[in-house]
Amino acid sequence: MKSNNIKYGVEKQSLLRHRNKKIVEYGLHTPLLTQYITKTILNKTGIKFMDNSYGNDCTDSLWDELDGAIIISIYIPNSTITDYEQELFSFFTIQLGEESDMVLQTEDLSEVITYINNNIKTLYNLK
């Protein structure tokens, strides 16, 4: 992920400061990072994901649906390190459908975008 966006850069610095602190609530949420990622995915894929983040989730998440069914969910990193006990994750996770298995786990947003673009026809039943 590039940090050329000023707001995203500020939030990334905040994540760096939090990485050694104990997180006492559910996860660490990153609303500025989520907005940046949503805009980046929209610009690169043409898909406007919805913010599906809840306060009691470990990380922020995005999803898209078709005819009321969830097609794809993207879980967003909330840290620069991974520490499962502290609910800190440095990677994106993509799941298809509802309650499905993970299909991609990566620290690179461009890999998320590539996955979406390579599978867009299948995901959205396009010809």
| pLDDT tens per residue across span 67-80 | 989 999 999 988 88
Residue length of the chain: 127
Tell which wins on pLDDT, 26 or 127.
127
Tell which wins on pLDDT, 86 or 108.
108
pLDDT at site 84: 87
- Identity of residue 116: I
